[in-house]
Amino acid sequence: MSVDSAYDHNISSLQDELNSLLDKQRQAYAAHPFAPLAQRQQWLKSLRQLLSAEREVLIDALSQDFSHRSPDETLFAELMPCLHSIDYTLKHLKRWMKPSARSVGMMFVPASAKVVYQPLGVVGIIVPWNYPLYLAIGPLVGALAAGNRVMLKLSEFTPATGRLLKDLLGRIFPEDMVTVVLGEADVAVAFSSLGFDHLLFTGSTHVGKQVMRAAAENLTPITLELGGKSPAIVSADVPLKDAAQRIAWGKTLNAGQTCIAPDYVLVPQDRVDGFVEAYRQAVHSFYPTLTDNPDYTAIINERQLARLERLQADATLKGARLVPLYEQGQGRRMPHTLVLQVSDDMQIMQDEIFGPLLPVVTYTHLDQALAYINARPRPLALYYFGYNKAEQQRVIQHTHSGGVSINETLLHVAIDDLPFGGVGHSGMGHYHGHEGFLTFSKAKGVLVKQRWNSSLMIYPPYGRQLVRLIQKLFIR
């Protein structure tokens, strides 16, 4: 067998295996197409108990995948939002599942109308490497709350976490209920081509286009959470210490490997030096040193580290001024660096950074900053720092982004009652909380009539006086 033939055989075998898993879940769903409230609550409670009981092994697996991942960051940025999401969903699920009564016009009485929230069936979830626990469990909670079966594809860049989640979820869910799929990029490609009833992908815009193209072959509805270059605006009068500290926290969490991390910061021209110093102080207050610092997370792998180093080299070559905040890193613990005097031809201003590099863009007045943002693809998040409420409202109304935080970074994603999702290049669709339940449900309109058929009045023949009277009354 030739190399090409062997590859084709392996791909065919992989596709058959994935189709078999999908078929098992479809058959299980067909046997029980509408899980009652008590069943869904039990699924979520079992999941919560599992995550809480296994927190230490989850922390260890994530740290192993990153070479070092701060245990506290895993607790705060992954485990805690998973648990809070489950608690919030359990609290509100009964109300979400209740059919929504709708009105019917006089023309249609006697009748009633309602919207029934029906499970879609089998949901596919493609999980990225940067927050593999939260970005697996978060959408899983929404899908289970809506009564679906779920297949999860974990990233090949977090193998320890993937293997652990496969084992842990296998303890509480049968394979025809929830299953974890592991493997390299070819598995992800095959996974995205399956005929799911809904597919959620979190990752880069480039890969998102490929996933959407594959899903289109099956007309699979899709939610894309993609990221992009999320800006932070420092106003002309906000105290620099306030802005710098909050931006630094959002940028340094997980070493900047966060889809809604501030990607670049817009600073008034006359405040740049002050911002640089305030930012340096903020970062050093979090991480006095990088060497053996248990709080500072490493870059996920050598490939991503090399990519970030290329961004620095390209920016330097094209005239940027780098301001490293530490003399050197340690292993894959990359030093946090400000990048000044940037220009649009630099790769760092074109690609999502996803690491501890923060370009500083200068502006002279707020309208110029808003124009700069609006001339670029719409980001997943936008941050504004300033206490003038009129300016806050102007930023909200005159920009497009997936979400906004005023005088804060990142935390809007943790508010369970807010939808989370991108717009344009940063994605489509929403999930989290009620919006997650709706995303993974079919809102099915239902009209109910009983024995008396009032529609007889508009049946043919149409020349009757009653028909003409109805036309006169209802068509004006």
User: Does the pLDDT of residue 287 top 80, yes or no?
Assistant: yes
Residue 310 and residue 395 in one domain: yes
CATH code: domain of residue 176? 3.40.605.10
Whether the CB-CB separation of 169 and 178 falls below 8 Å is answered with: yes
pLDDT at 327: 85
Residue 153 and residue 235 in one domain: no
Question: Quick check: is 470 in a domain?
Answer: no
Question: Quick check: is 153 in a domain?
Answer: yes
Question: Quick check: is 89 in a domain?
Answer: yes
User: Does the pLDDT of residue 3 top 70, yes or no?
Assistant: no
Q: Is 228 left (phi over 0), alpha (psi -120 to 50) or beta?
A: left
Counting the structural domains of the chain, the total is: 2
Cα 239–chain centre separation: 31
Q: Is 227 left (phi over 0), alpha (psi -120 to 50) or beta?
A: left
Q: Burial level of 21, CB count in 10 A (0-12/13-18/19+)? A: middle
What is the arithmetic mean of pLDDT over 349-373? 97
**pTM: predicted TM-score of the whole model, two decimal places:** 0.93
pLDDT at 12: 75
Question: Quick check: is 150 in a domain?
Answer: yes
State which residues form the domain around 325: 231-414
What is the arithmetic mean of pLDDT over 322-331? 89
Residue 243 and residue 214 in one domain: no
Catalytic residues: 225
Residue 236 and residue 212 in one domain: no
Q: What is the mean pLDDT of the chain?
A: 94
Question: Quick check: is 471 in a domain?
Answer: no
User: Does the pLDDT of residue 406 top 90, yes or no?
Assistant: yes
Question: Quick check: is 452 in a domain?
Answer: no
Q: Which amino acid is at 253?
A: L
Whether the CB-CB separation of 266 and 247 falls below 8 Å is answered with: no
Residue 24 and residue 97 in one domain: yes
Model confidence pLDDT, tens digit, residues 231-249: 999 999 999 999 999 999 9
Question: Quick check: is 5 in a domain?
Answer: no
Position with higher pLDDT, 5 vs 387: 387
Residue 221 and residue 236 in one domain: no
Q: What is the 3-state secondary structure (H, E, C) of the chain?
A: CCHHHHHHHHHHHHHHHHHHHHHHHHHHHHHCCCCCHHHHHHHHHHHHHHHHHCHHHHHHHHHHHHCCCCHHHHHHHHHHHHHHHHHHHHHHHHHHHCCEEECCCHHHCCCEEEEEEEECCEEEEECCCCCCCHHHHHHHHHHHHCCCEEEEECCCCCHHHHHHHHHHHHHHCCCCCEEEECCCHHHHHHHHCCCCCEEEEECCHHHHHHHHHHHHCCCCCEEEECCCCCEEEECCCCCHHHHHHHHHHHHHHHHHCCCCCCCEEEEEHHHHHHHHHHHHHHHHHHCCCCCCCCCCCCCCCHHHHHHHHHHHHHHHHCCCEEEECCCCCECCECCCEEEECCCCCCHHHCCCCCCCEEEEEEECCHHHHHHHHHCCCCCCEEEEECCCHHHHHHHHHCCCCCEEEECCCCHHHHCCCCCECCCHHHEECCECHHHHHHHCEEEEEEEECCCCCHHHHHCCCCCCHHHHHHHHHHCC
- For 18, 168, 258, 284, the CA distances from 177, given in Å and listed in that order, are 14, 14, 30, 47
What is the arithmetic mean of pLDDT over 46-55? 98
Residue 352 and residue 402 in one domain: yes
pLDDT at 8: 52
CATH code: domain of residue 392? 3.40.309.10
Residue 202: both structure tokens together? 């979190």
- For 85, 197, 474, the CA distances from 256, given in Å and listed in that order, are 23, 33, 61
pLDDT at 467: 81
Residue 184 and residue 213 in one domain: yes
Whether the CB-CB separation of 271 and 239 falls below 8 Å is answered with: no
Whether the CB-CB separation of 335 and 290 falls below 8 Å is answered with: yes
User: Does the pLDDT of residue 45 top 60, yes or no?
Assistant: yes
Residue 220 and residue 242 in one domain: no
Q: Which amino acid is at 437?
A: F
Residue 387 and residue 438 in one domain: no
Residue 45: both structure tokens together? 């409670």
Residue 135 and residue 254 in one domain: no
Question: Quick check: is 294 in a domain?
Answer: yes
pLDDT at 4: 43
Residue 126 and residue 237 in one domain: no
Residue in 172, 157, 166 with CA at minimum distance from that of residue 207 = 157
Q: Which amino acid is at 443?
A: A
Residue in 399, 354, 405, 359 with CA at minimum distance from that of residue 228 = 354
